[in-house]
């Protein structure tokens, strides 16, 4: 049984079915009955941890769920062969391998695609110079940012030097460090941002709608929104890595989370060897190329990234540049699951005028204190 997203298994010619057929040809020794179910990579951990014994043999998950899956004993280590394959695929891209490495040093699953966000903008509004600075863009056009989304909000704090679970995101004891003087300064910057008439909060798709209607000139999102953005902007379509923002006079680089979509297998499967091989096969270079050709997803495989067709793709360029230069590997320890809720609430508090210049310090520290009590 395997879990994958809806779009990958629409019909017999979809990516997953095609890969299954190829896998059968590669391994005539197995007699496989395929049973495909729709479970998106974002939901895999939540569903798998409820009862791993009935979860899919092979499934896709978002790398930040690794800790949760490991804690639920719902994920298995990759075989020596698979590790070798992954190491060849990701030579020179440490962050991708790191995203699937457990705290015991073993590899849990094979990376299948990068997952991060960057910037789409209206080309005619800004110069090449403008797009490197958030403040310059705010002066010229309407900027939409998902302030109430905890996947985006930390970009400011992490850019300014805040850390999530230590330097490399694996130290649960270290906790979330967005407070102190830096945290206060960033919170104040965000208050200014909210008060800026050119700022629009992006929620429930208002950013993309704004691009279409002309009410918004910049949105922050990932490769999955590329088709919509292209359609909404037409010839004015621009895409770039993240800009800097002006924190008390110094330019600070915004830093997004980078993670990966991962193919892994379930330790409760009755056929561990076949499951391991199929998982590795689904993440292989050929499978990723097929996925790019069929669905236009940007592959994470470094050997593919240098192929001219992909290298010239603007979104692929922005994504690879973001992952390489302006990203923080999304922590995959179980404590990460507690991060999202309070962060979203803090974003809402900023947006709802609850956070002001006077209490910025106090509330930022209170936000941090809530993590201390949760972890």
Partner 1 sequence: MEATTGARPVRRGLLRRKADYIPPSRYTLRAALTDGDAFTRLSFLILGAGNIARKQILKGLLFLAVEIAYIAFMATSGAENLAMIPSLGWREQTAEKIDGYWHYTPGDNSVIVLLYGVATIFITLLFVVFWAYAVRSAYKAQLLAAETGSAPDFIQDWRNITDREAQVSLMALPVLGILIFSILPTLFMMCMAFTNYDSDHVLLFDWVGLENFGQLFSADGAVNASLFGEVLAWTLVWAFFATFLNFFLGLFLAMVINRPTTRLKGFWRAVFSLSIAVPQFVSLLVINQMLQPEGAINRLLMSWGWIDEALPFFTDATWARVTVIVVNLWIGIPFTIMQITGILQNIPAEQYEAARIDGANWWQTFTRITMPYLVFVLTPYLITTFTGNVNNFNVIYLLSNGNPTPVGATAGKTDLLITWLYKLTVDKGDYNLGAVIGIFTFITLAIVSLITYRSSASYKDEGGFR
Contact positions vs partner 1 (CB under 8 A): 49, 53, 71-73, 76-81, 200-201, 203-204, 206, 267-268, 272-273, 276, 334, 337-338, 341-342, 345-346, 348-349, 351-355, 363, 366-367, 369-370, 373-374
Q: For tokens 């910057």, what's the residue? A: 189
> Between residues 201 and 322, which has the closer beta carbon with respect to partner 1?
201
Q: Where are the alpha helices (DSSP H) in 283-337?
A: 285-295, 302-305, 308-311, 314-325
> Between residues 21 and 271, which has the closer beta carbon with respect to partner 1?
271
> Between residues 197 and 308, which has the closer beta carbon with respect to partner 1?
197
For the chain, the 3-state helix, strand and coil shares in percent, each to the nearest 5, are: 50, 15, 35
Residue 191 burial (C-beta neighbours within 10 Å; 0-12, 13-18, 19+): middle
Closest distance to partner 1 from the beta carbon of 198 (Å): 15
What is the token pair recorded at 276?
């391991």
> Between residues 145 and 346, which has the closer beta carbon with respect to partner 1?
346
Closest distance to partner 1 from the beta carbon of 307 (Å): 30
Closest distance to partner 1 from the beta carbon of 80 (Å): 4
User: Do 263 and 8 form a contact (C-beta atoms < 8 A)?
Assistant: no
Closest distance to partner 1 from the beta carbon of 178 (Å): 12
Closest distance to partner 1 from the beta carbon of 296 (Å): 30
Three-class DSSP labels, 245-272: EEECCEEEECCEEEEEEEEEECCCCCCH
Contacts of 241 (CB under 8 A, 6+ apart): 118, 119, 318, 321, 322, 325, 326
> Between residues 294 and 337, which has the closer beta carbon with respect to partner 1?
337
Closest distance to partner 1 from the beta carbon of 349 (Å): 5
Q: Report d(CA 79, CA 64) in Å as an integer.
A: 21
Q: Report d(CA 328, CA 167) in Å as an integer.
A: 10
Closest distance to partner 1 from the beta carbon of 72 (Å): 5
> Between residues 82 and 304, which has the closer beta carbon with respect to partner 1?
82
> Between residues 103 and 321, which has the closer beta carbon with respect to partner 1?
103
Q: What is the DSSP letter of 217?
A: S
Q: For tokens 């009590």, what's the residue? A: 373
């Amino acid at each position: 049984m395997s879990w994958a997203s809806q779009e990958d298994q629409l019909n017999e010619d979809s990516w997953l079915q095609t890969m299954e057929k190829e896998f059968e040809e590669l391994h005539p020794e197995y007699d496989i009955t395929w049973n495909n179910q729709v479970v998106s990579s974002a939901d895999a951990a939540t569903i798998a941890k409820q009862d791993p014994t009935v979860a899919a043999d092979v499934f896709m998950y978002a790398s930040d769920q690794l800790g949760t899956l490991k804690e639920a004993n719902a994920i298995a280590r990759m075989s020596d062969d698979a590790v070798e394959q992954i190491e060849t695929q990701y030579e020179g891209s440490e962050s991708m391998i790191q995203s699937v490495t457990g705290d015991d040093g073993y590899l849990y699953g094979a990376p299948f695609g990068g997952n991060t966000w960057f910037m789409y903008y209206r080309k005619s509004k800004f110069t090449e110079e403008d797009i490197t600075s958030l403040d310059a863009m705010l002066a010229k056009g309407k900027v939409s940012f998902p302030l109430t989304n905890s996947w985006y909000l930390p970009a400011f704090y992490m850019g300014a030097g805040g850390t999530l679970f230590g330097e490399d995101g694996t130290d649960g004891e270290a906790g979330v460090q967005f407070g102190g003087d830096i945290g206060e300064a960033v919170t104040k910057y965000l208050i200014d941002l909210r008060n800026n008439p050119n700022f629009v909060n992006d929620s429930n798709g208002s950013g993309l709608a704004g691009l279409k209607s002309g009410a918004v000139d910049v949105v922050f999102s990932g490769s999955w929104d590329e088709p919509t953005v292209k359609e909404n902007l037409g010839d004015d379509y621009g895409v770039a890595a993240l800009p800097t923002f002006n924190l008390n006079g110094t330019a600070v680089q915004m830093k997004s989370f980078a993670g990966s979509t991962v193919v892994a297998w379930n330790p409760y499967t009755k056929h561990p060897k076949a499951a391991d091989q199929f998982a590795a096969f689904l993440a292989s270079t050929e499978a990723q190329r097929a996925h790019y050709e069929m669905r236009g997803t940007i592959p994470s495989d470094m050997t593919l990234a240098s192929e001219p067709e992909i290298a010239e793709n603007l979104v692929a360029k922005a994504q690879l540049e973001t992952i390489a230069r302006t990203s923080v590997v999304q922590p995959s320890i179980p404590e990460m699951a507690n991060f999202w809720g309070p962060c979203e609430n803090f974003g809402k508090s900023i947006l709802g005028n609850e956070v002001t210049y006077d209490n910025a310090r106090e509330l930022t520290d209170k936000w941090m204190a809530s993590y201390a009590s949760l972890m």
